Amino acid sequence: MTGVKLLDFWASPFGLRVRISLAEKGVEYEYKEENLAEKSELLVSANPVYKKIPVLIHDGKPVCESLIIVQYIDEAWSDKGPALLPKDPYERAQARFWADFVDKKMYDCGTRIWKSKGEAKEEAKKEFIDNMKLLETVLGDKPFFGGDVFGYLDISLIPFACWFYSYETEGSFSIEEACPKISEWVKRCKERESVSKSLPDPHKVHEFLLFLKKRFGIE
């Protein structure tokens, strides 16, 4: 099997990181939408440890875990497109640290905003805003987290932008009000084709969220 195949789910922020990276590098690939309620044999055999998307299959060899895939794309196609990770080792370490922070924090408290109620919901909301404000200090006055160039940390966080409307609606708050710099950064990222062509409609994401809530019996 040659070529590049991506096993993914349209609303997954983790899958979006990979789609954006492949677009940045100009790599052609076959997209396969996975039904997460009924995982395909291919997914289970390509990622037997976690059985999760995204999985990038390059010439028959599977690469799993979104941030690992993004780094793989940068290294395997180092001669194509822009470098996704910073060249400077210290900046690289910082980018890795904050991407790891996004991984550990954003998805978790975002999910808790819509899954929980009452005090737990308020706590999740507060944590989400606090984490975003922290990321704002990391961004500072730079156009992108990568500085002048859009890079690894931008790619790690921007996919969550299509979930912002859902978090805001479920949590009754405005991310633009709480974190204006992040909102501006989102707009800047969306000017890039790799981002604007990849991110799904936030309203569609919210529809999907409402479907999930029904399925989990929430509210």
Among 30, 100, 130, 201, binds other proteins (CB under 8 A): 100
Beta bridge partners of 31: 6
Closest separation in Å from C-beta 78 to other proteins: 8
| Residue nearer to other proteins on the CB measure, 33 or 59 | 59
Q: Interface mask (CB under 8 A) for other proteins, residues 117-146, using x and -?
A: -----------------x------------
Using H for helix, E for strand and C for coil, what is the string for 118-153?
HHHHHHHHHHHHHHHHHHHHHHCCCCECCECCCCHH
Please say which residue, 100 or 201, places its beta carbon nearer to other proteins. 100
Pick between residue 153 and residue 209 the one whose CB is nearest to other proteins: 153
Shortest distance in whole angstroms from residue 19 CB to other proteins: 18
Residue 48 CB, shortest distance to other proteins, in Å, is 8
Rounded-to-integer distance, Cα 127 and Cα 131, Å: 6
96 forms part of the interface with other proteins (CB under 8 A)? yes
User: Which of 9, 10, 29, 101 lies at the binding interface for other proteins (CB under 8 A)?
Assistant: 101
Taking residue 17's Cβ as centre, other Cβ atoms within 10 Å add up to: 27
- Say if residues 64 and 52 touch (Cβ distance below 8 Å): yes
Stretch that binds other proteins, among 16-24, 29-37, 92-100, 170-178 (CB under 8 A): 92-100
Residue 76 or residue 210: which is nearer to other proteins going by CB?
A: 76
Question: How far is it, in rounded angstroms, from Cα 208 to Cα 203?
Answer: 9
Give CA–CA dist 16/123, Å, rounded.
27
**Contacting residue, 6, 7, 64, 135, with other proteins by CB under 8 A:** 64
Q: Is residue 89 a contact point for other proteins (CB under 8 A)?
A: yes
Closest CA relative to residue 5, chosen from 38, 46, 52: 46
Is residue 97 a contact residue for other proteins (CB under 8 A)?
A: yes
Residues 28-57 that bind other proteins (CB under 8 A): 48-49
Residue 109, CA distances (Å) to 84, 127, 130, 136, 160 in order: 27, 7, 11, 17, 12
**Measured distance CA(27)–CA(81) in Å, rounded:** 9
> By the criterion CB under 8 A, which residues form the site for other proteins?
48-49, 58, 61, 63-65, 68-69, 71-72, 75-76, 89-90, 92-93, 96-97, 100-101, 134
